[in-house]
Structure 1
Amino acid sequence: MKKNVITLLATACVTCFTSTAFSAASGPEYQTQAFDSPDRTFPLFYEQLKERMPFALAWNDDIKNPKQWRKRGLEKARDVIFPYQDNTPFMPMVIDEIDRGDYIAQKIVFNISAESRVMALKLIPKGRGPFPAALFLHDHGSKFDIGKEKFVETWNNDARLASSQDWAQRYFSGRYPGDELAKRGYVVLSIDALGWGDRSVEGFKTDSQQALASNLFNLGSSFAGIIALEDARAAQFLAHQPEVDRKRVAAVGFSMGAFRAWQVTALSDDITAGVVDCWMGTMKGLMVPGNNQLKGQSAFSMLHPTISKYLDYPDIAALSAPKPMLVFAGGQDTLFPIDSVETAFNKMHSVWDANQADDKLTTKIWPNKGHTFTEDMQEEAFDWLDSQFVR
């Protein structure tokens, strides 16, 4: 009897090793490598893992009640994305101020969280308010010496001014988009994300992010979660400024800042419109070899653990509906494959359409543009924003 049991076990083991996954006819009976090259840390079985991403709360055309879908999705998104809640008093203080003709530029300090008191750049139009407002959310760019200064021209700091001027020439047609919107009569607030500008340190570089992200995971939080929470806090701070019309507060972002813009437009009740340039696609569509989403480092600023169990990127952005939103993409932007962008745009339009608000969503692919926010793109975006905020 004992001999028969041993025989059965041996037969079972042979069957196990000659299964579909590892058959003797197709090669070794075990996995001999996990990656296709030493510089790739994407596992060979990534396609199978992608198929396991359920997006259980994702929008689909069978959903009959978009308001109910939004309520459920927002509850889950806020729970997954925000590491904690924070209601710390802002206690703002102006520490410097200059006159720029049509508007006043201030350096203002406030409590963005219980742990961090930060300095931001604030622009206030002259005249009688309340004014529309815009929260400017900077890009990543692997450039950490400046953050808020990428969008708003700084002063009394020659090194940062020179650095930001180079950045403006590279991506913004030599302009500061925040100052351009202030000239149109908007209150502007530009902040540093954790790791940029005043919240960075000399020598902080691309590799530093992975250690920062790991430490935040160990502390029960995440790099992306801290950024998301602080963006929502900054939105609340801006919306409650005495010069601001709370019904007209936009989030404006480029690249990583665009990710932050559609995210905070969805998650914050204080943001009433979003301007998003050069960051939209589906998760699966961006998970292709060579994409930045797969390289660690910069990706950690935008990766929320477990979110794919529930919602895709366009689903989260669509939680904004029926708020007005404009989304630009560059046809030559190698970071965002066009098929992924178009799939995301189509889903977003279906959600706004279900809310009888498709006229509030504008999406556009600029055929000859790369990863940029040039003067013509800025002017079209700001004209659109003016049209949404007209009284």
Structure 2
Amino acid sequence: MKKNAITLLAVACCTCFTPLALAAADGPEYQTQAFDSADRTFPLFYQQLKDKMPFTMSWNDKIRNPQKWRKQGIAKAREVIFPYADNTPFNPLVIDEIDRGDYIAQKIVFNISAESRVLALKLVPKGDGPFPAALFLHDHGSKFDIGKEKFVETWDDDDRVASSQAWADKYFSGRYPGDELAKRGYVVLSIDALGWGDRSVEDFATDSQQALASNLFNLGSSFAGIIALEDARAAKFLAHQPKVDRSRVAAVGFSMGAFRAWQVTALSDDITAGVADCWMGTMKGLMVPGNNQLKGQSAFSMLHPGISKYLDYPDIAALSAPKPLLVFAGGQDSLFPLDSVEEAFDKMHSVWNANRAADKLTTKVWPDKSHTFTEDMQEEAFDWLDSQFKQ
């Protein structure tokens, strides 16, 4: 009787589990290979797991009430993405400033959270205001000695001046996009995400990112969640600065900063428009071998555990509708497969159309561009922002 029971159990197990790699035909049936031989980061059953990603709150054309979808989606996204709430007084202090002609550049310290008091770069046009404003959110780039300095020119630090100029030459046509927008009459704030600039450590590009992410998981938070929370806090800080018109506050970002830009545009009531360059796609479309979304270093700064139960990337971006949003992509950008980008763009346009705000969403693929934010892209983006803010 006992032998028959064991036999029945073995048969039952075989009917409910089909091994993906078996031992020799004359040996026992069990998995002997767990990973794709070409890409050792994927388990052989990754496609089955991918197929199970539910996105239960994802936008679809059967939704008849986009306002209700947005309200429920924002509540769920904030619940999953933000690790906690923070209403700590900012208590800002300007510690240095220089005159740049049409505007003043400041180094300003403030409480970005209850745990972190940080140094930011702020640019303020001369005059009485109120002025439109822009929160600049830097990229990842596996370059950590600078963060806020990637978008705004710093001073009195030769190493960072040289490093940021080299970055500007590589990605921004030798310009500092934050300073360019300040010349147009915007108050600009550029901050360091945790791990960059003044908030980094030596050799952060090696195992430190992964270790930080693991430790934050253990602490009940996440790397990406901390960044998202601090971006929302920085948005509130900027919106409440003297001379800022609270009805005209944009988030602007490149690469990982673009991810941060459309994310904070969706989740923060203080951001009224967004500009995102070189970061958009569907979650499944980016989940392909070789993509940096799958690597255990940079990926952690943009991965929110559990979000795929409810919302895809374009869904989160579309929670900002009907706010104005501009999203650029490079046709030669190997990090973002074009079919995934276009699928995401189609979904986003569907949401803005449903909100009767089709003119508020601009998406564009630059056929000859790679992963970059060149002068012509900046000018087109900033002209668009001027038009939205009637600047």
Q: Pick the TM interval, shorter chain.
A: over 0.9
Show the counterpart of 1:10: 7
Show the counterpart of 1:291: 291
1:1-391 matches, cutoff 5 A: 3=1, 6-14=3-11, 16-17=13-14, 21-22=18-19, 29-37=29-37, 40-390=40-390
Question: 8 Å contact 1:153–1:176 — kept in the other structure?
Answer: yes
Question: 8 Å contact 2:23–2:29 — kept in the other structure?
Answer: no
Q: Distance in 1 between matches of 2:110 and 2:53?
A: 40
The 3 A distance-change label for structure 1 pair 25 and 86 is closer
Letter in 2 for 1:258: A
Q: Distance in 2 between matches of 1:195 and 1:278?
A: 21
Q: Distance in 1 between matches of 2:42 and 2:59?
A: 28
Question: 8 Å contact 1:18–1:29 — kept in the other structure?
Answer: no
Deviations 1:335-356 (A, max 9, x none): 0000000000000000000000
Q: Distance in 1 between matches of 2:9 and 2:304?
A: 41
Question: 8 Å contact 1:110–1:119 — kept in the other structure?
Answer: yes
Shift of 1:25: 11
The 3 A distance-change label for structure 1 pair 9 and 77 is same
Shift of 1:39: 5.7
The 3 A distance-change label for structure 1 pair 84 and 8 is closer
Question: 8 Å contact 1:142–1:206 — kept in the other structure?
Answer: no
The number of residue pairs the alignment matches comes to 388
Shift of 1:13: 1.6
Q: Distance in 2 between matches of 1:17 and 1:29?
A: 9
Q: Distance in 1 between matches of 2:12 and 2:220?
A: 43
- The gaps in structure 1 that reach 5 residues or longer are none
Question: 8 Å contact 1:206–1:298 — kept in the other structure?
Answer: no
SS of equivalent to 1:122: strand
Shift of 1:204: 2.3
Q: Distance in 2 between matches of 1:315 and 1:175?
A: 32
Question: 8 Å contact 1:332–1:369 — kept in the other structure?
Answer: yes
The two structures have a TM-score, normalised by structure 1, of 0.96
- Percent identity, aligned pairs only, is 82
Shift of 1:296: 1.2
Letter in 2 for 1:30: Y
Shift of 1:246: 0.2
Deviations 1:25-69 (A, max 9, x none): 995611111112386221111110011110011100000000000
Deviations 1:195-215 (A, max 9, x none): 000011233224210000001
Letter in 1 for 2:90: F
Letter in 1 for 2:217: F
Deviations 1:103-122 (A, max 9, x none): 00000000000000000000
Shift of 1:6: 3.0
Q: Which moved more, 1:187-196 or 1:11-20?
A: 11-20
Letter in 2 for 1:16: C
Question: 8 Å contact 1:125–1:185 — kept in the other structure?
Answer: yes
Q: Which moved more, 1:16-25 or 1:344-353?
A: 16-25
Q: Distance in 2 between matches of 1:20 and 1:213?
A: 33
- The gaps in structure 2 that reach 5 residues or longer are none
Question: 8 Å contact 2:136–2:251 — kept in the other structure?
Answer: yes
Q: Distance in 2 between matches of 1:82 and 1:15?
A: 43
Shift of 1:15: 5.3
Question: 8 Å contact 1:251–1:265 — kept in the other structure?
Answer: yes
Shift of 1:300: 0.2
SS of equivalent to 1:205: helix
Deviations 1:259-289 (A, max 9, x none): 0000000000000000000000000000000
Letter in 2 for 1:174: G
Letter in 1 for 2:304: H
Question: 8 Å contact 1:148–1:191 — kept in the other structure?
Answer: yes
Q: Distance in 1 between matches of 2:179 and 2:223?
A: 29
